[in-house]
Structure 1
Amino acid sequence: MRSLTRPVAGALVLSLATVQLAIAADMANPVSAGAAPVPATNPAITYPQTRRDNVNDVLFGETIADPYRWLENDVRNTPEVADWVARENVVTDAYLRTLPGRAWFSEKIGQLMNYERFSIPVKAGGQYFYERNEGLQNQPQLFVRKGLNGKPRLLLDPVQWSKDGTSALDAWKPSPDGRYVLYSVQEDGSDWRRLEVLDVRTGKRLSDTVRWAKFTSLAWVGEEGFLYSRFPEPEGGQDFQALNYNQAVYFHRLGTDQSVDERVFATPDHKERSHTAEVTYDGRWAVITSAIGTDSKYEVHAIDLAKRAQKGWFARPLITGFDNAWNLIEGTGGVLWFTTNEDAPRFRIVAIDLDAGAPRWYEVVRQSPETINAASLVGNRLVVSYLKDAASRALIFELGGTRVDEIRLNGLGTANGFTGKPGDPETFYSFASFNRPAGIYRMDLATGRMQPFALPKLTFDPDAYAVEQRFFTSKDGTNVPMFVVRKRSVAEAGKAVPTMLYGYGGFDVSVTPGFSAVRMAWLEAGGAFALANIRGGGEYGKAWHDAGRLANKQNVFDDFIAAGEYLKREGITSPDGLAIEGRSNGGLLMGAVTNQRPDLFNAVHAAVGVMDMLRFDRWTAGRYWVDDYGHPDRKEDFTILRSYSPYHNIRAGVDYPAIIVTTADTDDRVVPGHSFKYAAALQAAPIGNKPHLIRIETGAGHGSGKPTDKQIAEGADVLAFLARWTGLDVRSEK
């Protein structure tokens, strides 16, 4: 199924914006102009000495101190930063070793993760390709089988690619007849990708290698080659920090060197634009989608591959202006289907016949009260996935737009996939929820018959956990949904227990129910988990996103704070038992709400967060995020960014909760300097005696591709820390 979340350059599953946050001058950050070094106040922890430089910027008449700017330098090329990282990790690990729950959580997470996992199969040439992890393998392997019930054959084994498991199979796509598999390799969690090609019959890798691919789709052009997106090779030493400009789409012909790849589509006069390519199943059209940032506003061009011999890579404009979202579903002959939010903030489905004398857009499926999340064309039907209050619902339509059926799902959860192709009624999809790992199902749309393809064997009883959805009122009266998960016995008894509250709130990203072994370990220990679907995401379409970005960013923080207040007021969480967690854009959320309401939260996990809102646009993909955050060099945006930037608004003299910051040395999405500077500022500030630590992973990036053993280790460390400061006693749950 084609999702509305595209591989657009810089979309880091994180987004932020601008917000009006009134913090009194006497509560300013200790890194403000003129602030002097402050000794650590936690008597139990001696933080490493961190050098403070006299670095100041004058921005729109305000002097902004930035004493830890030297920590922005790449840890791999800067010995003094590497030394600081090592010293911080020594302190953090020494503290974590004292926590009684660390070993328990490590064992429990490992048990919960030790089950057979499959990806959704992809069919090509009568063969089925899919990923499988037998349980605790560091990386999943790629298999193929002839026919649905054929014997599985191992094609790619990333487990053998590196000793420490940090080389990962990122994306892959079989050629139309299943002869080859094009795949991308991720090293150390970086966003850079290396593309390789495998001969399916022999299992041998071809000589073809493509480098400097990033934020790319994989699109075969018949069996002769493929389309991909890449950036120019960075200057020496800047691989993980240089801004990403001048992305272009190239064609690589099998058997040739990358140096002779043909440039298919580029905009050298608009270096900020990014471009990705897709090819329709029948091979007729290559569709190029262009974006300026992370905002869902695209231009679309179509290349008629049937006329390539006469016209070359001529790109015919279909949509111009960067005004709305346009997401290709599929194409057959001259007809292309798209989802769009043009005149439909919750999306509709439209089509165009490019072979017609005067092509025009026409509506196929109109907008409904629920948000379209993804759509695909399978057999002679459209399968459309909707979000109903952040949970999945799947409907089936005729190609003319008449609704014919609904796919029955197993309760509140998330359905993905519904992959397939025109003319073939077979589709596969997955369904997961907070208490259920993803099961894979096969469905014949012609008969309506559904059967399991691969269901996980679990070490716990999903029915022992209650999943419910509640709604709470935010500061401005907005009704916001929140999922609450806990043991059924706890829910029925109305018992208040330590609770982990998660949020994201940005970049039009919808956060829906899903399974996590780490979160399940928290639940197994007797805690509760809550997911707040705050504004800034895409759960209710464009309006929900717009209400949480740019000048509306404060709504995101208000929503999350209101969620925490609700959990305590309703007796779901214990009075001193509220832990909060957020990653990437959610890491920014953690920093901002902790500054605003340090009294509300008892423990905080801020992961790979954007913490310096005045300089985020200076590295790698950061420049794209101005769609959600605004431009630091524009006064109206600067004023808002300055008001909530986590690094610049730490409140001296106020008791803060216990905080653990996590990042990785090879994160080139949100560079680790954000977390380094934020942690240094926390440790220098007089904000109480609770620990304010940073855990810095090596050989890992923003999150994707992280090996299983690193996931278990980080999960155990974080949960043990949160349990210590919320009163969750894991020893009684052994």
Structure 2
Amino acid sequence: MRPILAALLASAVAVPLTANAQTTASADATDPYIWLEEFTSPRAMAWVEEHNAVTVKRLEADARYHTLYNEALAIAGAKDRIPTPSFLNGAIYNFWQDPEHLRGVWRKTTLADYGTAAPNWTTVLDIDALGKAEGKSWVYKGAQCLEPEQRLCLISLSDGGEDAVEVREFDLATGKFVPGGFHLPRGKHDFTWEDKDHLLVSTDWTPEDVTTSGYAYIVKRVTRGQPLAQAKELFRGEKSDVAAGPTVLRDSQGHTLPLIVRSTDFFHSLTYLVTPTGVKQIAIPQKAQVAELVGGRAIVRLDEDWTAAGPAFRQGSVADLDLAALKADPAKLKPSLVWAPGPRDSLESITSTRNRLLLATLDNVRGRALAFAPKKGGGWTQTRMALPDNLTVGFGSTDEKSDLAFVNTAGFLSPNALYLADAGTGTLKQVKTLPAKFEAANHVVEQLEATSTDGTKIPYFVVHRKDIAYDGTTPTILNAYGGFQASSTPSYAATTGKLWLERGGAFVLANIRGGGEFGPAWHEAGLGVKRQIIYDDFAAVAKDLIARRITSPRRLGIQGGSNGGLLMGVEFIQHPELWNAVNIQVPLLDMIRISKIAAGASWQGEYGDVNADPAVRAFWQKLSPYQNLKRGVKYPEPFIFTTTKDDRVGPQHARKFAARMEEYGLPFYYYENTEGGHGAGADLKQAARTNALTMTYFIKKLMD
């Protein structure tokens, strides 16, 4: 996910900033739960412990909880899961967690051995053992290895699952951290290898060197053996930006493209070329990204029309630039079109192999995998990979030393399958399949449509038993996200299947606006003060389910996390009559103080700036869930879940919402995991407990 901006231009403000500051201060003064924003204070943590104890006692006392927990843990830690492979250093690497390795091991095997039923793995780094030895709650957050040798790697370690990480250099040849090697202390870093002895790093060089969003904006070159204090500054953004960070793209021919991206909000950025004489801005649109480098061509993803390039270069397309010409004059570009979407198409991701450009796309929310071969003199030859239809399709790891790529497929009732593709020859070989984790023979998937308030057709998927009675009695969970141009696509949710579908429940996934299912325009339709249409889309799907008598308000529950948690909060407030259960996960709920909580200032490109724009403030004063709870309303009893270690959204939103419900005498369940970051848990047992508590809640509310 790309970084985001915290302040709007002063010229866009319709009233003096001092007036807004006074309004904010007044709102703060009347908020009785500001103290819950001190997320680790003894008083706040005592409140958390008290409310956790009540919820755990109520839900774990249910006779079904322990069965649900054991089922969830068995699925999460099953040894027959597909180990996610990564091409690295001439081998296949994998990060693996199971009941014996709760925090996980980073391990390797050969490509040939990986294709067998029982690969012989060699442990490279044991995160459980490392945490125990160092007295830390380490969570593995990935490795970035120096190309093309792929021997030296930068390992990111998080304390308890938070976004902030510590970075250490690791040598795959010795299997050890490099003594005196590169090291970045805890922070929200953005970094990349420039060469063996240099890193390009954006970090909080001093405590003041962060944007109002809390991210770094000063990029420096770090030299091996020198202290960070001696790093040479290359670029400085603005404190009002979201962030600025470096990346270096490489292709198999030895070309490199060092870039710095200055994100002025979550969706707009300025891209700069790093040269020996300084940085030079590249003249691409602000909603565009230089995503890959293939055969001396820079690949550009367009999320807005590139009007200067001509009418063919419309939003959602992919273009290329000759690398030599780009470096010669980044202000004068001559792009060529690689791929353009049809009316129901959407670009999901871009990657590459040694000689091929690979795109994962959606066609009416059905996955496609495309390979592009560069032609001499310009242009590309497109080939669609022959994968099963009506599934989600995505590229996994690709090999920069060959044209091999792993491709994943999955559906609601179709377990994950992993293919090894040769993008050069077009051949595909299925190498792994996940055994079925729940009984699906008696179930069916339908793709239906609801009509929103403006007449737009909103597609949604329903997974249910073939023999349901269309009398409104089917317990149903409706899920959606609706933001940040993130697509919601079918997936094989084994835990949901085992704990919910097998017990007679139905599951619904709605492709509401705000997401990316139909390209950038689908997302832009609900930005800022236009956001009510997203909430209307969701309610329209619920009403359509009820009108079709698949379910009824008594048997309908809803679930969403993060931005989807905000969606749940708004729907909870606006339509309490439509559902009997609401699961609000790691949510945003106080949209007036969002910029003051965790990384909330980052998302003003999505939600607008309540501090600088009176129209945005007026909009959220009417919709913000925390500010719009009412006494005496018959709301459903929600299950509010968050984590203490969530340094992205923060637990403060959930705490304050629950505290206000308590003040108003409204019933609720509240559970805050003390680890886990912006997710269900820091290890398998924590995640299994979260899943079991959630499903116990839904069963009690919708099935009993």
Measured against the shorter chain, the TM-score band is: 0.7 to 0.9
Pick the aligned partner of 1:378 from 330, 349, 353: 353
1:318 equivalenced with 2:282 (yes/no): yes
Looking at structure 1, the residues matched to 633 and 542 of structure 2 have their Cα atoms a distance apart, in angstroms, of 19
Alignment of 1:418-567 (within 5 A): 419-420=397-398, 424-490=402-468, 496-520=473-497, 521-567=499-545
Mapped to 1, the partners of 2:241 and 2:635 lie a distance apart of 43
Contact 1:120 1:417 in 2 (8 A): no
1:391 aligns to what?
A: 366
Query: Could you tell me whether the CA contact under 8 Å between 1:346 and 1:371 is conserved in 2?
Result: no
* Partner of residue 348 from structure 1, selected from 309, 317, 324: 317
- Cα displacement (A) at 1:124: 3.8
The alignment covers a number of residue pairs equal to: 659
Q: Percent identity?
A: 27
Tell me, yes or no, if the aligned pair for 2:304 and 2:520 is still in contact at 8 Å: no
Say whether 1:707 aligns with 2:679.
no
The answer for the alignment partner of 2:194 in structure 1 is 221
CA contact (8 A) 2:397 2:406 kept: yes
Task: Give the Cα–Cα distance (whole angstroms) in 1 for the partners of residues 26 and 164 of structure 2.
Answer: 39
Corresponding residue number in structure 2 for 1:131: 95
Within 5 Å, which residues of 2 pair with 1:161-172?
A: 161-162=130-131, 166-172=137-143
What is the 5 A alignment of 1:20-59? 58=23
CA contact (8 A) 1:167 1:705 kept: no
**Amino acid aligned to 2:695:** L
**8 Å CA contact 1:170, 1:705 repeated in 2:** no
Q: Give SS of 2:292's match.
A: strand
CA displacement at 1:724 relative to structure 2:
0.6
Matched residues in 2 for 1:138 and 1:125: separation?
26
CA drift at 1:388: 1.9
Q: Is 2:273 the counterpart of 1:302?
A: yes
Task: Specify whether residues 269 and 215 from structure 1 end up closer, same or farther in structure 2 by C-alpha distance, changes over 3 A only.
Answer: closer
Match of 2:642 among 634, 656, 663: 663
Structure 2 counterpart of 1:16: none
Contact 2:681-2:687 at 8 Å conserved across structures: no
Q: How far apart are 1:726 and its partner, in Å?
A: 0.8
Tell whether the 8 Å contact from 1:246 to 1:266 is kept in structure 2 after alignment: no
- Residue 268 of structure 2 is aligned to residue 274 of structure 1: no
Quick check: 1:371–1:387 contact (8 Å CA) kept in 2? yes
> What per-residue deviation string (whole Å, max 9, x for no partner) do you get for residues 647-689 of structure 1?
11112222111211111112111121111110011122255xx
Alpha-carbon separation, structure 2, partners of 1:86 and 1:425: 53
Matched residues in 2 for 1:489 and 1:328: separation?
Answer: 47
CA contact (8 A) 1:182 1:198 kept: yes
1:51 aligned partner: none
Q: Cα offset for 1:139? A: 3.2
C-alpha distance in structure 2 between counterparts of 1:89 and 1:342, whole Å? 45
- Measure how far apart 1:146 and its partner are: 4.5
Separation (CA, whole Å) in 1 of partners of 2:239 and 2:50: 46
Structure 1 residue 557, shift from structure 2 partner = 0.9
SS in 2 for 1:636: helix
Q: How far 1:484 sits from its partner (Å)?
A: 1.2
Unaligned runs of 5+ in 1: 12-55, 305-310, 729-734
Say what the alpha-carbon RMSD is for the aligned residues: 3.0
Q: Which residue of 1 aligns with 2:71?
A: 108
For the 8 Å contact 1:251–1:261, the answer to whether it is kept is: yes
Instruction: Tell me, yes or no, if the aligned pair for 1:266 and 1:275 is still in contact at 8 Å.
Output: no
Tell me if the contact between 1:168 and 1:187 (Cα under 8 Å) persists in the aligned partners. yes
Q: Secondary structure at the match of 2:282?
A: strand
What is the alpha-carbon distance in structure 2 between the residues aligned to residue 611 and residue 173 of structure 1?
A: 35
Q: Counterparts of 2:63 and 2:500 in 1: how far apart (Å)?
A: 14
Residue 336 of structure 1 corresponds to which residue in structure 2? 298
CA distance in 1 between counterparts of 2:556 and 2:189 reads 36
Letter in 1 for 2:46: D
Q: CA shift at 1:465, angstroms?
A: 3.5
**Cα 1:459/1:270, change in 2 over 3 Å:** closer
Q: 1:260 to 1:514 in 2, by over 3 A?
A: farther
What residue identity is the alignment partner of 1:446? G
SS at match of 1:468: strand
Aligned counterparts, 1:252-291, within 5 A: 252-268=222-238, 272-281=242-251, 282=254, 284-291=256-263
Is contact 2:272-2:281 (8 Å) kept? yes
Larger relative contact order (CA 8 Å, sep ≥ 6): 1
SS of residue matched to 2:324: coil
Q: In 2, Cα distance between the equivalents of 1:399 and 1:123?
A: 23
Between 1:275-284 and 1:183-192, the stretch displaced more is 275-284
Equivalent position of 2:117 in the other structure: none
Taking structure 1 as the reference length, the TM-score comes to 0.83
Aligned-partner SS, 2:173:
coil
- Give 1:488 deviation, angstroms: 4.1
- Within the candidate set 121, 133, 136, 1:152 is matched to 121
- Tell me what 2:17 maps to: none
* Deviation of 1:504 (Å): 1.1
What is the SS of the residue equivalent to 1:511?
coil
| Contact 1:96/1:102 (<8 A) preserved | yes
Q: Which amino acid aligns with 1:132?
A: W
Q: Is the 8 A contact 1:608 1:670 kept in 2?
A: yes
Q: Tell me the residue number matched to 1:696.
A: 672
Paired position in structure 2 for 1:653: 632
Q: Supply the AA of the counterpart residue of 1:635.
A: P
Cα contact 1:120–1:430 (8 A) shared by 2: no
Q: 2:219 aligns with which of 244, 249, 259?
A: 249
Retained in 2: the 8 A contact 1:292–1:624? Answer: no
Instruction: Kindly provide the CA deviation profile for residues 533-572 of structure 1, in whole angstroms up to 9, marking residues without a partner as x.
Output: 1111111122111111212110111111111111122122
- Whether contact under 8 Å (1:191, 1:214) holds in the other structure is yes
CA distance in 1, matches of 2:121, 2:443: 34
CA distance in 2 between partners of 1:642 and 1:572 (Å): 35
The Cα offsets for residues 497-555 of structure 1, whole Å up to 9 and x where unpaired, read as: 10111111111111222233432221122211111111111111221111112121101
Distance 1:705 1:111, change over 3 A: closer
Flag the 1:82–1:404 CA change in 2: closer, same or farther, 3 A: closer
